[in-house]
Structure 1
Amino acid sequence: MQDATQILNQVFGYTAFRPPQGEVIETLLGGGDAFVLMPTGGGKSLCFQIPALARPGIGIVISPLIALMQDQVDALCQSGVRAACLNSTMPPGHNAEIERRAVAGDIDILYIAPERLTQAQTLTWLAQLQISLFAIDEAHCVSQWGHDFRSDYLKLSLLHERFPTIPRIALTATADERTRAEIIERLQLGNARTFISSFDRPNIDYRISQKLKPKDQLLDFIRQEHAEHAGIVYCLSRKKVEATALWLQQQGFNALPYHAGLDATVRQTNQRRFLTEEAVIIVATIAFGMGIDKPDVRFVAHLDLPKSVEAYYQETGRAGRDGQAATAWMVYGLEDVIKLKQMMAGSDGDEQFKRLEQQKLNAMLGLAEITSCRRQVLLRYFGDRLPEPCGNCDNCLSPVATWDGTDASRKALSCVFRTGQRFGVGHLIDVLRGKNTDKVRQFRHDQVSTFAIGQDLSDTQWRSVYRQLVARGLINVLDEYGQLQLAEPSRALLKGESRIELRLDKAPSKTTRPGKSRTSVDIPAADSALWDALRACRSAIAKAQKVPPYVIFHDATLQQMLSVRPQSLAALGSIAGIGDKKREQYGAAFLAVLADFAA
């Protein structure tokens, strides 16, 4: 551990491990296996990078994404670590040269995709190496129940079979109890020590509200709070991704689309711009984001409801990796629930899979509809506990009003029944509101007892009622047309044997939160010029090195420079995030900026 602490300080520029990093590293240094569950931004990478450097040989890291590999290799090389990756995008001869260097002992850490690792020729080559450890990053990809499933991860149990004496570490930021058990079983980690950190990300402000005019709501949110910040906007469909990105561009934002249907070069260019430029907004499907290390993403917005709490936690976790304030913002409506239920009903999975997917969606709906602290519910889902309300979610900051929705719910349920349980919500609302449409006349629904009995509520209010009835399992969604059918639990409400409280959805306010600083961190006005100069220095170096600015130094490191105002290389070395190599390579440039302002 003395060697490990020395590496932490000299290579990575930190003085002490965060719990449970020290215990994880000690386990691997002793030759043991480890399973690590740690939230995004919690420092998972150091758990395998440091023991890979401290143990003799080369550390092999299995990573599912080329972009993630390259990002981590760039960061390690900047810190003086001999790191490389093997993947299909490299120019001819590159991979052969990397393999030669690995055999010669000239590489400390090597990243490789699971598809390549499981090939026979790769396994033959690995047998020639002195390997310090195997790290399986994004280990939740082994779960067949997860949305990031990668079939090649299922073959990674061969590492235990072929290399039984080499320690292994599996890491993920997202796994409920079922997924954890599956990871341990499929990767044959039954004897591994398990380390589970708190899932809490206290710097993230969670907000979920009803979908009214979603693009306008998104625009107001970004303009009010994150006009000059980097962010991610998630949409369910590729078509919506492109339309939303174009619309944000027309509103003056640097917004770029990302989805699996785009040309690979366009995807790579857009991702690279997001990582290297300031204030870029990526509009994406779930194809974007796994392993994104950009620390200063200030917001993640969802224009559609995610399919599960795991997906929501993982996607929102890409905000605020630097520990500074960030926002997880979402709007959703009944149409989202109907669309997701339709997708699940039409999936190719067996009945067990569909039931589990339905359970996951119901848990997500529960989080969206809850009137108490969202963070407590979110953490409880992962088996974590928060004793007191967080004070940093919409329900804590603006407590939700509820209303006795018993009478309205009975009317809504009765209308489903009286019209034959074969119509969508739009038509049902027309009947309740007494609208004399062609469809109402065609099916003679102006003659049913529920016609015009709901004129006291608006279309929007009725949609809220139906959304909550679907979310609570009183109504089922039947098919791709969104037909609604009564579920068994509705019987008690219709018979007058129970009552129901509904959340009172309010129109969104344009001043829900005070405007945020134009910078990623809070900087005193008197220091803003020096802050801009330090960032400009970082950007110039990053551009010359062809790496993202945060690979040079994180904002937190620059902020400490601003506070401490070091005047020598030795003083610069005391700042977190500046190891020996970076101090030697970049110290003079930053000291010159500080000296100019001191003068």
Structure 2
Amino acid sequence: MQAQAQAEQVLKEKFGYDHFRAGQDTAIDRVLAGENTLVVMPTGGGKSLCYQIPALMLPGLTVVVSPLIALMKDQVDALNDNGIAATFINSSIDFREMDERLRQAAMGEVKLLYVAPERFESDQFVTELNDINVSLLAIDEAHCISQWGHDFRPSYLSLSTVPQRLTSKPAVIALTATATPRVAADIRQRLGIPDDGMVNTGFERTNLSFQVIRDQDEDRYLSQYLKLNQDQSGIIYASTRKEVDRLYTMLAKKKLPVARYHAGMSDADRAASQEDFLFERKPIMIATNAFGMGIDKSNVRFVIHAQLPKDLESYYQEAGRAGRDGLPSEAILLYKPKDVMLQRFFIDNSEADEAHRRLQYQKLQTMIQYANTGECLQQFILNYFGQTGTKPCGRCSNCLDEREAVDVTTDAQKVLSCVVRMHSRYGKALIAQVLTGSHNQRIQEWHLDELSTYGLMQNQSQRDVTTFIDFLTASGFLQTNGGQFPTLGLTETGAEVLRGNQSVYRKTAMKARQSLAVDDDTFQALRAVRRQLAEQSKLPPYMIFSDATLKAISAAKPTTLNEMLAVKGVGEVKLEKYGQFFLDALTEHAEETNAS
């Protein structure tokens, strides 16, 4: 009980919160008791506090394994600004600086040391850590340790032996936002975490609205969305550098405040682009998925995938970068069937073995089904991660869909009939070619042009028919079989449609809308002060105060520092550093408002 009270005191003093979120207190109690723990929480759920607070309470050093240099620097900067002694060791510093930081750790001058997983491949580094009392080993992005995870990294494998190689035998806490039951079991097995040692608060992001946009001009939709939701920060993901450059050029011509980021740019250009985004000079970032994992920016209001991601785990992690501060945000997927071919190309040309390629094809198929389902999008994702029995979210594009539902039973029967006549031996591309009356050489060689369903949908394009087949698959009328070249067969529900016992309905196209809240004048005044302080401190604005804290200050309108300390998210260190600036801004804004 005493430890719990102390943890709550640290939470209030250092981070400005009165109460823990769901699961945080359980994880912290386990860590303080020296028990190995796996924490599965959605992005923005507060995973980092599960090791940062114990780090301030335990006698020795907390070593945090983090996969990216940018992520380490971001987290260390935020901790230092909050009066918490932390540092990192990675390839960006020389050996002399590394020795100095290890000395600081040994002397207790820092409480958290961030390192890359590759460090533990060096016996010398482990020997140096053995001269330090390491109380806790925290492994961030722990899904990287599992070969079944979407972002498996061989460098993470050595981590399974680290607790035994450290003489202090620290407790282990592993943390991830994306772990299917299979991945979670693999993490536990590799790190010696008992079955009852998992703290899983669920995967739902109640502040995120998921949307899928299909069957329309994606460029037009994107331009309209950005213009309708101005002054908001967001990330637009594309799968290739070429598409990033194309979107950047198109949107820059429309005078939108965009930056770009991909591996084909120079280090200096990438760094400048990232800084423009973090400091909100250019609040819209267009990037490949190389961007974002190392970014802790809490006030990203939208994440738009302009091309289909490779799997649902990647999508949920990337989409989860929106709304980390808990405020309403959006995750939008612009789906085009041709993007499926691009992802298949990536799989075909990967260095993965045959078994792993089959797994990748299966995951891609699930991603396609997500893009075409008519059911609740959040529910679809939760079911994938093993969280069953959930109710529709009531906020995704499918739940809120008020578009007209069109009866497409006749077209559905044409497709289903064609699948039956092709004996369920072919994939959607060839089925679409038969239905649209293609003169493809294979069709003629295999006499598929003699089928009664040949040309039944010749008044439609192959693209539209292929998209319709995806819709029927996602809706459960068709099922895929096989990996790299999946074939299609009828489900029992599809057979009922073919028999005329069930109808099929499909919604019309969706339009862009202004969906993100417009910020009030008081918040905008506080944001201007935050931006000025950020430039002076050389820290991204969200590290000063999050949007959620800024909105809370805006609503409370404190007139004294003591009143401001009561606002959620305002801790003692930041109050002393920045409090008076925001009080002055509130007073000035009130005077201007009254004068007008």
Distance 2:450 2:332 in 1: 43
Paired residue for 2:506? 504
Does the 8 A contact of 2:12 with 2:18 survive in 1?
yes
Aligned-partner SS, 1:158: helix
Paired residue for 1:174? 178
Paired residue for 2:216? 212
Residues 487, 199 of structure 1: CA spacing in aligned structure 2 closer, same or farther, 3 A cutoff? closer
The reply on whether 1:408 has 2:414 as its aligned counterpart is: yes
For 1:545, which of 537, 552, 555 is the aligned residue?
Answer: 537
Which deviates more, 162-171 or 551-560?
162-171
Residues 351, 228 of structure 1: CA spacing in aligned structure 2 closer, same or farther, 3 A cutoff? same
Paired residue for 1:102? 105
Paired residues for 1:19-168 under 5 Å: 19-90=22-93, 93-163=96-166, 165-168=169-172
Paired residue for 1:464? 467
Please list the CA deviations of residues 347-386 of structure 1 after superposition, one character each: whole Å capped at 9, or x if unmatched. Answer: 4433332332233223222322222222222112212246
Residues 189, 210 of structure 1: CA spacing in aligned structure 2 closer, same or farther, 3 A cutoff? same
The reply on whether 1:222 has 2:226 as its aligned counterpart is: yes
The size of the alignment, in residue pairs, is 581
Distance 1:476 1:333 in 2: 22
Paired residue for 2:191? 187
Paired amino acid for 1:243: R
Paired amino acid for 2:334: V
Does the 8 A contact of 1:34 with 1:193 survive in 2?
yes
- The offset of 1:317, in angstroms, is 0.7
Residues 115, 460 of structure 1: CA spacing in aligned structure 2 closer, same or farther, 3 A cutoff? closer
Paired residue for 1:573? 565
The reply on whether 1:560 has 2:552 as its aligned counterpart is: yes
Distance 2:568 2:324 in 1: 16
- The offset of 1:308, in angstroms, is 1.7
Does the 8 A contact of 2:426 with 2:488 survive in 1?
no
Does the 8 A contact of 2:373 with 2:471 survive in 1?
no
Which deviates more, 374-383 or 402-411?
402-411
The reply on whether 1:201 has 2:205 as its aligned counterpart is: yes
- The offset of 1:595, in angstroms, is 2.8
Paired residues for 1:257-406 under 5 Å: 257-278=260-281, 280-385=283-388, 387-398=390-401, 401=405, 403-404=408-409, 405-406=411-412
Please list the CA deviations of residues 311-354 of structure 1 after superposition, one character each: whole Å capped at 9, or x if unmatched. Answer: 12111111111111111111213222333344434544333323
Which deviates more, 40-49 or 288-297?
288-297
Aligned-partner SS, 2:581: helix
- The offset of 1:434, in angstroms, is 5.8
Aligned-partner SS, 1:395: coil
Residues 439, 97 of structure 1: CA spacing in aligned structure 2 closer, same or farther, 3 A cutoff? same
Distance 1:596 1:475 in 2: 63
Paired residue for 2:594? none
Distance 1:268 1:540 in 2: 20
Does the 8 A contact of 1:206 with 1:329 survive in 2?
yes
Residues 399, 369 of structure 1: CA spacing in aligned structure 2 closer, same or farther, 3 A cutoff? farther
- The offset of 1:284, in angstroms, is 1.9
Q: CA RMSD in A?
A: 3.3
Under a length normalisation based on structure 1, what TM-score does the superposition of the two structures give?
0.87
- The offset of 1:38, in angstroms, is 0.6
Distance 1:192 1:127 in 2: 29
- The offset of 1:192, in angstroms, is 6.8
- The offset of 1:64, in angstroms, is 0.5
Paired amino acid for 1:43: G
Paired amino acid for 2:198: T
Aligned-partner SS, 1:260: coil
The reply on whether 1:247 has 2:250 as its aligned counterpart is: yes
Residues 503, 244 of structure 1: CA spacing in aligned structure 2 closer, same or farther, 3 A cutoff? farther
Identity of aligned residues (%): 37
Under a length normalisation based on structure 2, what TM-score does the superposition of the two structures give?
0.88
Residues 428, 387 of structure 1: CA spacing in aligned structure 2 closer, same or farther, 3 A cutoff? closer
Which deviates more, 311-320 or 86-95?
86-95
Paired amino acid for 2:82: S
- The offset of 1:239, in angstroms, is 1.4
Which deviates more, 44-53 or 178-187?
178-187
Paired residues for 1:425-440 under 5 Å: 429=433, 432-433=435-436
Paired amino acid for 1:198: G
Aligned-partner SS, 1:257: strand
Paired amino acid for 2:569: G
Please list the CA deviations of residues 406-435 of structure 1 after superposition, one character each: whole Å capped at 9, or x if unmatched. Answer: 4320465489799x979956x955x75568
Distance 1:470 1:372 in 2: 13
Paired amino acid for 1:59: T
Q: Which runs of 5+ in 2 are unaligned?
A: 592-596
Distance 2:275 2:234 in 1: 14
Residues 122, 437 of structure 1: CA spacing in aligned structure 2 closer, same or farther, 3 A cutoff? closer
Paired amino acid for 2:12: N
- The offset of 1:397, in angstroms, is 0.7
For 2:526, which of 513, 534, 542 is the aligned residue?
Answer: 534
Residues 475, 578 of structure 1: CA spacing in aligned structure 2 closer, same or farther, 3 A cutoff? closer
For 2:239, which of 225, 236, 243 is the aligned residue?
Answer: 236
Distance 1:32 1:20 in 2: 15
- The offset of 1:514, in angstroms, is 4.0
Aligned-partner SS, 1:297: coil
- The offset of 1:142, in angstroms, is 0.7
Distance 1:374 1:259 in 2: 29
Does the 8 A contact of 2:412 with 2:472 survive in 1?
no
Q: Which runs of 5+ in 1 are unaligned?
A: none
- The offset of 1:208, in angstroms, is 0.8
Residues 75, 478 of structure 1: CA spacing in aligned structure 2 closer, same or farther, 3 A cutoff? closer
Does the 8 A contact of 1:534 with 1:590 survive in 2?
yes
Please list the CA deviations of residues 37-57 of structure 1 after superposition, one character each: whole Å capped at 9, or x if unmatched. Answer: 011111111110010001112
Does the 8 A contact of 2:432 with 2:466 survive in 1?
no
